[in-house]
Amino acid sequence: MSPTLHTETLGQGLDLFLVHGWALHGGIWDRLVPDLARDWRVTRVDLPGHGLSRAVPMPATLPALANLVVHAAPQIAVWLGWSLGGLVVLQAALDFPQRVRALILTNSTPRFMTAPDWGCAMAPERLAEFSSELARDHHGTVQRFLALQVQGSEHARVSLRQLSASLSACAEPDAQSLATGLEILRSGDLRAAVSRLARPTLVMTGAHDRLVPPAAGAWLANAIPDARLFGFPKAAHAPFLSHPEEFIVAVRDFLKPLHDTAVPASAHGASRHG
């Protein structure tokens, strides 16, 4: 039996499933959930080693991580993933297409590391620095990573306070799971596979993103057959924190046709699991 990841659900109607990024937890979506739950049944998950799933070890590979997350997801849902969560969403949609109604990829990329044929990414040396620093100074490394996420944003200080507050709302992530997550970011590469995706997709980027360059999002939107691109000209890596109203409008505009044509889920209300 697969270990159980912590989830929280609010609202009723069609299912929307939220997957956070490295070092955070499902609380990062606090600003969005009440608004989205007016029309959708919103479930957020804590990834293994993070938040209230801290006791669940992070799987060693991206496919194994996606498989674990699928077991925590609604039977069929729109999946919204941010950063590492976006990579998980892509893998889940490729491996379990029947479980994914549509994709929303926020500051996401099919490959985090640069390669000879892939320049819109983080240099391997930069991630190696994070890995070595993590072993020496767990707390400090996570804090520096949070600061990097908001650099260049129009509301950098406010966003950093929100990220730090979200992180401190739960116990810090498990150090080994963080290290494994970095290895997944280092080795994951879905560029050759994403053209097989056959679901409506919204790709969202921040013009000042220092972790996932907007060119990576533009590449994704071009490579996925039924994808559209939405850019935040004054945002960095976390536009849902720095520009929440614009973010919610963009998500609602994308979801509205799906909401109008799909059959609602029967479950409703609020619940916590895990």
Positions marked catalytic: 83, 209, 237
What is the SS3 string spanning 215-245? HHHHHHHHHCCCEEEEEECCCCCCHHHHCHH
Nearest to 50 by CA among 82, 6, 17: 6
Instruction: Please list, residue by residue across 34-64, b when 16 or more beta carbons sit within 10 angstroms of its beta carbon and e when fewer do.
Output: ebbbebbbbbbbbbbbbbbbbebebbeebee
Query: Starting at the edge strand that comes first in sequence, how are the strands of the sheet with 227-232 ordered?
Result: 227-232, 201-206, 100-106, 77-82, 14-19, 40-45, 7-10, 271-273
Rounded to 5°, the CA angle 83-117-129 comes to: 50
Tokens linked to 35: 């608004």
d(CA 78, CA 43): 10
d(CA 143, CA 12): 35
d(CA 108, CA 90): 9
- 211 and 185 Cβ atoms separated by less than 8 Å: no
- 103 and 82 Cβ atoms separated by less than 8 Å: no
d(CA 249, CA 197): 25
